[in-house]
Homo-oligomer: A and B are copies of this chain.
Amino acid sequence: MRASRFFISTLKEAPSDAEIVSHKLMMRAGMIKRIGSGIYTYMPLGLRVIRKVEAIIREEMNKAGGIELLMPLVQPAELWQETGRWDKMGPELLRLKDRHGRDFALQPTSEEVVTDVVRTEVKSYRQLPLNFYHIQTKFRDERRPRFGLMRGREFTMKDAYSFDRDVAGMQESYQTMFDAYVKIFNRFGLKFRAVAADNGAIGGTGSHEFHVIASTGEDALVYCPSSDYAANMEAAEALPLIASRGAATQTLTKTSTPNTTKCEQVAKLLGLELSQTVKSIALTVENEVDGKLTKENWLLLLRGDHELNEVKVSKVPGLKDFRFATEAEILEAYGSVPGYLGPIAAKQPVKVVADRTVANMADFVCGANEAEYHFTGANWGRDLPEPVVADLRNVVEGDASPDGKGVLAIERGIEVGHVFQLGTAYSAAMNCVYLDEKGQPAPMQMGCYGIGVTRILGAAIEQNFDDKGIVWPDAIAPFEIVLCPMGYDRSELVKAETDRLYAELQAAGVDVIVDDRGLRPGAMFADWELVGVPHRVVIGERGLKEGNLEYQGRRDPEASAVPAADMVAFVKGKLGK
């Protein structure tokens, strides 16, 4: 590519609405242009990166047995109604009507359409397993689009769907996709981590997220440096920090604790460790029984220094549809304002769930259900009944790994991929069945597998940038190398050497751009450092008179002289070609 025939448009300053580094750098490098809230034109430089990301995904998907098709963006409501997602999904599902008033959705994913394809096209066990995928524009009407391509509304995603005869087959398809994802993210040249994930609303029996590691990531990833345990914060199991409960040594004492609605304040006032306090979180669960609405009071107990994990709460039997109690509900149930609640002496019956650590505490402090009072010396069995015990808290650094092989660490990540075992959630709803060897119909076992193509760009930059700009990994850089001639239109020597090198690198399969725009060196270098092309060769008269060119890797502190005759081999070596 010649820069004069390409379109490069860099900015000194990022627009003020760009909040994070990847968004700022993509705007400054001219990779994207905002058309509306969360809607972007991918400019020529940005599109080149997208195409490289797509090509790697496509190659590995095909190698893993994926079959590419292309499902439509505009999908009839009827299919979404079959699975109930038409009603279940919130306003992020963008709905529209055609000229005849019929309802459609802009696809955020394509489970319904692919299941419809398979139920009409596949009849026999002989046709299974199958894995269909497409790389297609998606739309998700985010309430607050932001962060450039990180949380856009229109974006590109690769979504794949596997269909199997049984659970074992589904698990095999799942593992195949997991392995393909590892290859894909390795080929991108990104540091990443696959973590076990909660299946969430999509249902099913197992899932993993793939995260690009970046200190700016939204998600906390839990992992064990001395084993292969890794999970996201929702799925990471928190073991009890106290191995077994000690004996009671104190008597239950109602203690005046004015102005101490937080455990930190109570501990300070009483001269205790925060880890001797217990915080109480009041929930309400509404049930409809025989058309009558009833309310249950639930109280969650967490050690004072721990954080609640709501996903874990929702898995406690009876708490699937919990909500936090209102102040009025609290007053009614506990007889106290919030800040002094506890499991002892509530006004109404309360179902108590203690975190695993709390369940093993002795002589603990908790609210007395009376404003400005706490109990000290509380003990299970003696002062209150044994609780329901559950894992309710976020793990913290240093927690024991659930696999018993060390302690947990936490790092930040950006979710860019997700693999799910769906089971029969969709196939049962849509009657996607096959006939088995005996001619009996059975619902297919499904999996689904997504990669956020355009999100990869943002995540890659969050992981790879410096104060000059982006630092693309070779595999997904818009160009692998830029040739910067010093005086392309002034020096015959420079022009001839540039053209020779350009032709030879192209012939060697290197994705090379030559900057023939005639810019001054400073502006030229700044452009390419901002754009993040990982390798650069400067062709100058002075060096050429000694037979040398100047090579600099984007991360190298300094340039180095390389004999002109060796440069092609040198670059190929750098690129591993």
The reply to whether A71 and B9 form a contact with Cβ atoms under 8 Å apart is no
- Per-position contact with B for A53-67: 1 when CB-CB < 8 Å, else 0? 000000000000101
Binding site for B on A (CB under 8 A): 5-7, 9, 30, 33, 35-36, 39-44, 47, 50, 65, 67-76, 79, 91-92, 94, 96-99, 104, 106, 113, 116-117, 120-121, 130, 132, 137, 139, 141, 143, 153-154
The reply to whether B99 and A96 form a contact with Cβ atoms under 8 Å apart is no
The reply to whether A72 and B120 form a contact with Cβ atoms under 8 Å apart is no
A420–B75 Cα distance when bound, in Å, is 32
The reply to whether B35 and A75 form a contact with Cβ atoms under 8 Å apart is yes
A99–B120 Cα distance when bound, in Å, is 34
Q: How far is the CB of A84 from chain B (nearest CB, A)?
A: 19
Smallest CB gap from A77: residue in B: B36
Residues of B within 8 A of A116 (CB): 35
Smallest CB gap from A30: residue in B: B121
The reply to whether A70 and B96 form a contact with Cβ atoms under 8 Å apart is no
Prevailing SS type, chain A contact patch: mixed
The reply to whether B70 and A42 form a contact with Cβ atoms under 8 Å apart is yes
Contact of A68 among B35, B44, B70, B73 (CB under 8 A): B44
The reply to whether A7 and B72 form a contact with Cβ atoms under 8 Å apart is no
A431–B79 Cα distance when bound, in Å, is 44
A96-B94, A113-B35 given as contacts; is B68 within 8 A of A47 (CB)? yes
A86–B40 Cα distance when bound, in Å, is 20
The reply to whether A74 and B106 form a contact with Cβ atoms under 8 Å apart is yes
Smallest CB gap from A48: residue in B: B68
Q: How far is the CB of A472 from chain B (nearest CB, A)?
A: 18
Known: A39-B75, A42-B69. 11 other contacts (CB 8 A): A7-B67, A7-B69, A33-B117, A35-B113, A36-B72, A36-B104, A41-B69, A41-B117, A50-B70, A73-B73, A96-B106
Residues of B within 8 A of A79 (CB): 35
A94-B96, A99-B91, A99-B141 given as contacts; is B113 within 8 A of A72 (CB)? no
The reply to whether A7 and B96 form a contact with Cβ atoms under 8 Å apart is no
The reply to whether B137 and A75 form a contact with Cβ atoms under 8 Å apart is no
A5–B129 Cα distance when bound, in Å, is 10
Residues of B within 8 A of A35 (CB): 71-72, 75-76, 79, 113, 116
The reply to whether A40 and B72 form a contact with Cβ atoms under 8 Å apart is yes
Smallest CB gap from A95: residue in B: B96
Q: List 20 A-B contacts (CB under 8 A).
A: A5-B65, A6-B67, A7-B132, A35-B76, A35-B113, A36-B76, A39-B72, A41-B69, A41-B113, A41-B117, A43-B69, A44-B68, A47-B70, A50-B70, A73-B73, A73-B139, A74-B106, A74-B153, A74-B154, A137-B137
A91-B99, A98-B141, A99-B141 given as contacts; is B154 within 8 A of A72 (CB)? yes
Residues of B within 8 A of A43 (CB): 69, 117
The reply to whether B9 and A154 form a contact with Cβ atoms under 8 Å apart is no
